Amino acid sequence: MESLTTKHHFLLLLLLCIVLLALLSARAPEQETGTLIVYKEAEKANETFTFNLNPAPGSFQITAAGGGGAQILDLPPGVTCTLTETPQSGWNLTDIFCEGSGNWTADVSRGTVTITLASPRDFVYCRFTNQRMHQPVDEADLLGAYFGVSIMALMVATSGRATAIPP
């Protein structure tokens, strides 16, 4: 009777191993990826900026709510990707700063970063900084706004020509 019990334990253990192997092989293998964190910094803006990551996932957007926003993306190791910020009217890209364990090369003039992650444990953090384009300001409007009066109130006629009153 003892040998029968041992035999049953062995068969039960063997059956359990077969079922476990079948379950493990039926699961789709998970692809290990590295991480790219894209941070968008835009002075006190509530604007949406568009980026493109090539190859996939392609186009995505980041809203810089209150001046900043971020997107976290998975990147396959060993693949070189190019991240590009789409130029936006009224804004200048002034800086791209990256750090992390992956390899990258930034080109501010083109608004691109080329990234390669060697392993699934690698990551790269990139911050794209934009500043608003400032429209030329008329000095007369500036003076009027500063003193709270129109520029005409600051002018007096002397010798047939208008002259600004010095502060």
Span 91-150, pLDDT tens digits: 999 999 999 999 999 999 999 999 999 999 899 999 999 999 875 555 555 555 555 544
In whole angstroms, give the CA distance from residue 167 to residue 161.
19
In whole angstroms, give the CA distance from residue 38 to residue 60.
11
In whole angstroms, give the CA distance from residue 53 to residue 60.
8
**Structural domains of the chain, ranges and CATH numbers in brackets:** 34-132 (2.60.40), 138-167 (no CATH)
The more confident residue out of 30 and 77 is: 77
* pLDDT number for residue 1: 45
φ/ψ region of 87 (left if φ > 0, alpha if ψ in -120 to 50, else beta) reads beta
* pLDDT number for residue 104: 94
Q: Mean pLDDT, the chain, as a whole number?
A: 76
Span 11-28, pLDDT tens digits: 544 444 354 445 445 544
